Structure 1
Amino acid sequence: MRLLVLGGTQFVGRHLVAEALRRGHDVTLFHRGWTNADLFPEATHVHGDRLVDVSTLTGTWDAVVDVSAYVPRAVDMMMTQLAGRAGTYQFVSTISVYDPEFVGKMDENAPRVPAPEPATEEVSPATYGGLKTACEDALDAWSGPVQIVRPGLIIGSYDATERYPYWPWRMQRGGDVLVPETGQPIQWIDARDLTGWMLDLLGTDATGPFNAVGPNEFTTLPELIKATRDVVNPSANLVMVPETELMEAGLTGADLPFWFAGAPRAGIMQVNSDHAQMHGLKYRPLTFSVQDTQDWWNRERGGAKPKNGLTPEREAELLAGRV
């Protein structure tokens, strides 16, 4: 398959390109050449800024995988340039398109948040979901098949967000580990499971949106953290602190990654993925995802702390008198 990947040098795109090349696909990457530009010398690299000029994309492809569009103008420009020269358009969206206040089965037909009003291209936590909704809607104009992939939290190696890597890093240090005491549900997917399935999906005639989330079992954030501890360092001592106290102390999800600090967004951590599973989505055991994340971090970052998560000093301050 001749495959055009828009992005492809970070996290999800990097995993997708690596797997596509392993499968023998003919891959072209369109990116700015700013990040990991020396990756994948066996692929064709076309440099450009998709919000400025995409005229260098003059080839033809069986499919395009868009992992880098966050505003609808980026989709519109690409569709104009690729019209008649690409087949399936696979767009990586997000479960953040769903209305977090919705009560009911959150499958692919659940209500979405509207595009921001007034219109903006500023991507922030407040506009991210609505802008992805607008990107999805823009794809109605694509003349070929459209596949919309809606993942949630993604874990694994090369995680540029440096959110989940905090937990393996913290468990490796050992000692007393602050954990939010919460019943918050959590869903995640390994980047390798996501991208391998995306490539499989391109080999089918399936269209429409797909919720690419896991696992199958209802899981809370403390359960995910405990499972991470059990893989990395079973001797680490988890100290549960009520989330109300953590919010009173001014903590956010930047301090304790994947914790939503009581925000309504936690409601979209119970998304139904039956449709994607019917189309082949499968999940590896969490143990492998934890180990992959830990090995990558240790190999490339050593003992450095991820950019998200509590500093040792702040954690010790919060735990003072509790242990």
Structure 2
Amino acid sequence: MDDALVIGGTRFIGRHLVAELLEADYDVTLLNRGTRENPFDADERVSHVEGDRTNDSALESAAMTVDPDAVFDCVAYHPKDVRAATRIFDDCEAYVYVSSGAAYGREEIPKREGETPLEACTADQAVDETGATYGNRKAEGDRAVFAAAENGVRAMSVRPPIVYGPHDYTERLDWWIDRVDRFDRVLVPGDGTNVRHRVYVEDVASALRIVAERGDAGEAYNVGDRRLVTLAEMVDLVADQLDAAVDVVTAGPRELEAGEIELDDYPLYRAYPHVLSTAKLAALGWESTPLETAMERTVADHRESDRDGGDNGPDREAEERVLGILDTF
């Protein structure tokens, strides 16, 4: 495969995917509305087709104009979009849909492709725009991929959990980096052993390329850091990269009440461990970036940006009230 069409491609996962594809000597075309700055504008290997991916006519025009070998769908948030793309690009060598670990519908450790059930999706959920139905819609998109494969399309799915790394506009990890950078005491919800699978963005990009090149039609592939760390260990990783000495202070629901904080107010916290098996992807030859390297790049990008994640978690004044209560114990 030589020519790739990336639907999206300028913000986060798509941006790193384009860099990955260029490194692998692909010629790349971006399909998006052109409303955001294009970081590849000066690169002659990257073309741009303007269009709204929710408009089937825009996809059909791109299919005729670009005739790509591989299509990477980074911004399909409704099942109808996946069904349209797999129909319009049915003759390409690979269609890869960016799904989500949120598509899984049962809590078990770890969650495995083809074994752990997916979320159900009603007709109303399929067209909903709220975050409450995100997992349902992603699961139905997966089912659209499987149906397309049964009809002869080489369609596949990649399921990441929480993605972090340079250019992360969600700023979830930025909130923690900012805390470690500014304070010598960092409050961690629960007992610090909370486990929520995360994945470095460059590893998602390499997974998408590898699945396009080596994956099997109709299959889904989990992608995630091969080494998992607890929330407290993640804070320590950040501190190591910032060369900062921090005291991790844990607080349960009763202690957090002093600041009118709940456990779920903290970014990257999840009550039940969320772990994805990545063995199936690793069998294709995919490898995970060492956590220290991933965090080093993430922290360096944070420091060069103006992101602080301020909207993602409790304010420091509320946390100070909690710390004050803990100091009296």
Whether the 8 Å contact between 2:103 and 2:118 is mirrored in structure 1 is yes
Using the TM superposition, give the Cα deviation of residue 240 of structure 1 relative to its aligned residue in structure 2, in angstroms. Answer: 1.0
1:308 aligns with 2:318: no
Mapped to 2, the partners of 1:2 and 1:28 lie a distance apart of 8
Q: Percent identity?
A: 26
1:210 aligns with 2:216: no
Whether the 8 Å contact between 1:171 and 1:233 is mirrored in structure 2 is no
Identify if the C-alpha distance between structure 1 residues 152 and 247 changes in structure 2 by more than 3 Å, giving closer, same or farther: farther
In the alignment, which of 195, 210, 215 is matched to residue 185 of structure 1? 195
Using the TM superposition, give the Cα deviation of residue 293 of structure 1 relative to its aligned residue in structure 2, in angstroms. Answer: 1.6
Identify if the C-alpha distance between structure 1 residues 25 and 306 changes in structure 2 by more than 3 Å, giving closer, same or farther: farther
1:70 aligns with 2:77: yes
Deviating 4+ runs (over 6 angstroms): none
Identify if the C-alpha distance between structure 1 residues 179 and 129 changes in structure 2 by more than 3 Å, giving closer, same or farther: same
Mapped to 1, the partners of 2:326 and 2:257 lie a distance apart of 17
Using the TM superposition, give the Cα deviation of residue 310 of structure 1 relative to its aligned residue in structure 2, in angstroms. Answer: 2.8
1:147 aligns with 156
User: Which of 144-153 and 4-13 deviates more?
Assistant: 144-153
1:48 aligns with 2:51: yes
1:114 aligns with 120
In the alignment, which of 78, 83, 97 is matched to residue 90 of structure 2? 83
CA RMSD of aligned residues (A): 2.3
In the alignment, which of 198, 206, 214 is matched to residue 208 of structure 2? 198
User: Which of 31-40 and 289-298 deviates more?
Assistant: 31-40
Using the TM superposition, give the Cα deviation of residue 151 of structure 1 relative to its aligned residue in structure 2, in angstroms. Answer: 0.8
Whether the 8 Å contact between 1:116 and 1:127 is mirrored in structure 2 is no
**2:173 aligned counterpart, secondary structure:** coil
Aligned length: 313
TM (norm. structure 1) is: 0.88
In the alignment, which of 291, 304, 324 is matched to residue 320 of structure 1? 324
- Write out per-residue CA displacement over residues 207-250 of structure 1, whole angstroms, 9 at most, x where no aligned residue: 31111122345x32222222222332431221111145437834
2:37 aligns with 36
Q: Specify every segment of 5 or more residues in structure 1 that has no aligned partner in the other structure, as ranges.
A: none
- Write out per-residue CA displacement over residues 153-210 of structure 1, whole angstroms, 9 at most, x where no aligned residue: 1111011111012112211113221111333222111111221232133222533111
TM (norm. structure 2) is: 0.87
Mapped to 2, the partners of 1:176 and 1:150 lie a distance apart of 35
Q: Specify every segment of 5 or more residues in structure 2 that has no aligned partner in the other structure, as ranges.
A: none
Whether the 8 Å contact between 2:255 and 2:326 is mirrored in structure 1 is no
Mapped to 1, the partners of 2:304 and 2:109 lie a distance apart of 43
User: Which of 313-322 and 19-28 deviates more?
Assistant: 313-322
Mapped to 2, the partners of 1:229 and 1:305 lie a distance apart of 17
**2:170 aligned counterpart, secondary structure:** coil
**1:292 aligned counterpart, secondary structure:** helix
